Chains A and B, each alone.
Chain A
Amino acid sequence: MVAVTLWGSLAAVAGGKNQVDIEAKDIRELFRKLAEQYPAFEPFIDRGIAVAIDGTIYRDTWSKKLPEGAEIFLLPRLAGG
């Protein structure tokens, strides 16, 4: 079980909760379960969500493991120049 912190817009979709507990071993499973529990997440996932694991931001490595006790923070996927 990992505690996942959501950024503002995503928290609104989760009924105002800014943290949810999810049983997930990696980012792919995290997104799948989030979409199951909160169907309104799906457009956000389609648009792109970045996952900060202990401060390091991952955008596309959905196979990245979510270590027990790690800080998991969801952020919008950003554009660079």
Chain B
Amino acid sequence: MNFDPRLTNRSFTSVGTRPIRPDGIDKVTGRARYGADFNMAGQLVGRVLRSPHAHAVIRGIDTAKAEALPGVKAVITAADLPDLTNGDGALYDILDNCIARKKALYDGHAVAAVAAIDARTARQALKLIEVDYEVLPHVTDVDEAFQHGAPLINEAIFTEGLEEKPVKPSNVHKRTQYGHGDIHKGFSEADFVIERSFRTEQTHQGYIEPHACVASVSSDGMAELWVCTQGPFVYRQHCAQLLGMEASKLRVTSSEIGGGFGGKTHVWAEPVALALSRKAGRPVKLVMTRDEVFRASGPTSATSIDIKIGARKDGTITAAEATLRYSCGPYAGMWAEVGAMTAFACYRLDNVRTVGFEVLVNRPKTAAYRAPSAPMAAFAVESTIDELAGKVGMDAVDFRIKNAAQEGTRASYGPVYGPIGIGPTLEAVKNHPHMQAPLKKNQGRGMACGFWFNFGGQTCVDLNIGMDGSVSLAVGTVDVGGSRASLSLVAAEELGIDYAQVKAIVADTSSLGYNDMTDGSRGTFSSSMATISAARNAIKVLRERAAQMWDIPADDVVWEKGHALAKGEKYGNLSPLSLKEIAAQSGTTGGPIAGHSELVADGAGVSFATHICDIEVDPETGATRVLRYTVVQDAGKAVHPTYVEGQYQGGAAQGIGWALNEEYIYGKDGRLQNAGFLDYRIPVCSDLPMIDTQILEIPNPNHPYGIRGVGETSIVPPLAAIANAVSNAVGVRMTHIPMSPPRILAALEASTSAQKSESIFGKHDA
């Protein structure tokens, strides 16, 4: 990589402005093409048969009657997707999750699929498939699954990470540990110690667009997939491996995306659609229903977390400890490990230990959800921090400022921090007018901090300059939050031209080199780095072409403000050539002008945010209303501030739903009871106040413009900020997310009962 990514001091013309979004009109008029909007001639309808059991051996599947139904063109089971994973355990889990092999492992697990001429025939065919199940005991609760004697989900799981390999299998896939110092010594030095246990329930990302794709496999082995995804290149790789194809023979085109938030980084239906198409010899469209999205895509973990933090009277934290149990669904994961890494990342701690346990349950396979695993850990830690600040007698913000991590602090997950932004977000919150606004009866205010790593990754960009001077930017990172606008701004900035001259598109997998997914808040960070590099390569060509037009050496040509300039007094009579003028002559100066870039964007830099929430609680019903909400977060450099604010607001809105209402509810039969937006209610506009934002710009030293990712960190603090607000409003520490009205009422009643007992029997006997 011949590109220097280091920050350079510069002023900006385009970057930092707020042009109208390029995809806006298409999206509000319905013209934008989402996953389900693709169609092909001769296309069949795909439908999936799903297990009604949480845990069952599949003794046999009889598809004969379904196959005999007129209009059915293909029926598949696991036999049509044989195991080609060659010992790759993670890939095998993806395969088994796409279509169950020996056992159905959760309510909704795919067991067979059909392709038929229409939806009615496909539904009829599903009813004709006979599956012989042997129902097994199941476990859906993370704490119950953790216990000895719980129904065993996978006999081959022996807990990793223990000093001695266990002699018996269990539902605990792995134990991991992070930290440093001596927590026993640290706690012995504390004047105050708070110990609390917390739970968070499983939630879904709640993207509005269900998973959808059209798969077409030709008889010559070539295949195409149109799909709603965060990562067409990764989908291509996984689908090709699972189907035994060469990746180069599968072309994947991503659609517009109606939300992903990590949930569209994994394949579920796509390999099934391709297998159906391969068997039927016709294109197959497969669109998941909302019920299927809830039951059989990838929600986040349910968690059970124990926290212990000690502090001296002066407010210095002396030790911190967390034990985190995260559900993974029925397959191995590393969700608790990420929780263990992020839990105390905001703080400067001499003695800290976090232990994570990955717990298998009979629920859908856990997938990433926006800063995966961090919000739950932050909820537990920040709730305890708030309570400890109260014990010490310090203001919650001052307590955090006193203990905040800073440059040179050893992070709780290991390395020593470079320059970081937690301190500035706390100072901004301390000085924000929101913190001084008065509150009324039954209202409470809470604040909390959050941390996320942010990533970069493999990135490839093509920048083509048309003969009319227009610039076409082809990127490989799916636009999930406005990257086409921000990358166009970056291209305009670097070339010195107007934003309106640039048009960015998301290329398919056959048109561009490999790109990692849009995850880890990397879209704008990574692709902007590649765009800058591609623009600089194009400028080199533009200078050479201008030199040809002037018949002077290329070294005598510089590029300034969108023009080639001949430097030196001897060229005084040469007027600058604009990009447009050079492009117009390109046909006779060497052909099309382009710049390309392929690089690995690394050094994304860690990210911090601090949120403030005001809430009102009705003590009679437990109903809550968020009155005011403020997000303060470091963006490094906000390329398109409106989109950055949108990311901050979106994270807060999702967090509000997670904190107050959203949860997967399973019956005793192991079946999901609320697989729809009516019973799994996400916030709508009328539930939310205008979410205020404050963008801090502390430049990232590892990006030429100082850009940081902004997509994920905004969902880390809300659970904790809202829990602290509710706890302050009702005077009872809330320890279970979501804080739905029944749960708030139960906490209030438990508190009242405890107070009555104290008054009757005395505190020590209660």
Contacts and interface: CB of A to CB of B under 8 A. Distances in A.
Contact of B369 (A8, A61, A76, A81): A81
B254 to A, nearest CB: 17
Contacts of B604: 57
A42 to B, nearest CB: 14
12 contacts: A9-B160, A54-B418, A56-B418, A57-B455, A71-B416, A75-B341, A76-B337, A78-B338, A79-B262, A79-B334, A80-B454, A81-B372
A60 interface: yes
Interface string B115-137: 00000000000000000000000
Contacts of A80: 262, 368, 371-372, 453-455, 519-522, 712
A60 B1 CA distance: 12
A59 B602 contact: yes
Contact of A79 (B205, B261, B413, B520): B520
A55 interface: yes
A52 B205 CA distance: 30
B605 A56 contact: yes
B600 A57 contact: no
A40 to B, nearest CB: 13
Interface string B366-392: 001111100000000000000000000
A52 B414 CA distance: 9
Interface in B169-208: 174, 176-178, 205
Interface residues of B, number: 47
A75 B603 contact: no
Closest 6 CB pairs of A and B: A81-B262, A80-B520, A52-B415, A81-B368, A73-B415, A55-B418
A7 to B, nearest CB: 6
A1 interface: no
Which of A60, A75, A79 has the most B CB atoms < 10 Å from its CB? A79
Interface in A5-19: 5, 7-9, 12
B699 interface: no
B456 interface: yes
B161 interface: yes
Interface string A40-81: 000000010000101111111101100000010101101111
Contacts of A55: 411, 415-418
B265 A81 contact: yes
A55 B337 CA distance: 19
Interface string B197-232: 000000001000000000000000000000000000
Range class of the A interface residue count: 20 to 34
B204 to A, nearest CB: 12
Contacts of A7: 178, 414
B161 A8 contact: yes
B653 to A, nearest CB: 15
A52 B411 CA distance: 11
B578 interface: no
A79 B418 contact: no
B265 A79 contact: yes
A52 to B, nearest CB: 4
Contacts of A61: 1, 600, 602
Select the residue from A5, A12, A75, A80 with max chain B CB neighbours within 10 A. Answer: A80
Interface string B1-14: 10000000000000
Contact of B414 (A5, A59, A64, A79): A5
A45 B386 CA distance: 40
B501 interface: no
Interface in B514-568: 519-522
Contact of B602 (A5, A9, A60): A60
A17 B332 CA distance: 26
A69 B295 CA distance: 51
B178 A79 contact: no
Contacts of A63: 1
Given A52-B415, A81-B261, A12 B368 contact: no
Interface string B425-461: 0000000000000000000000000000111111000
Interface string B597-609: 0001011111000
Contacts of B177: 8
Interface in B352-369: 368-369
B455 A59 contact: yes
Contacts of B414: 5, 7, 52, 73, 75
A73 B415 CA distance: 6
Given A8-B161, A56-B702, A57-B453, A81 B371 contact: yes
Nearest to B342: A78
Nearest to B517: A80
A8 B338 CA distance: 13
A75 B413 contact: yes
Contacts of B454: 80
A79 B372 contact: yes
A79 to B, nearest CB: 5
A63 B262 CA distance: 29
Contacts of A58: 602-603
B203 to A, nearest CB: 12
Contact of B453 (A12, A71, A73, A78): A78
Contacts of A54: 415-416, 418
B519 A79 contact: yes
A79 B90 CA distance: 13
Nearest to A72: B415
Contacts of B90: 47
Contacts of A78: 334, 338, 341, 453, 455, 520
Nearest to B5: A61
A45 to B, nearest CB: 15
Given A61-B602, A75-B414, 9 more contacts: A8-B161, A9-B176, A55-B418, A79-B520, A80-B520, A81-B262, A81-B263, A81-B265, A81-B370
A7 B176 CA distance: 9
A64 B337 contact: no
Contact of A60 (B334, B519, B600): B600
Nearest to A12: B161
A44 B1 CA distance: 25
A18 B456 CA distance: 27
A19 to B, nearest CB: 11
A53 to B, nearest CB: 8
A59 B456 contact: yes
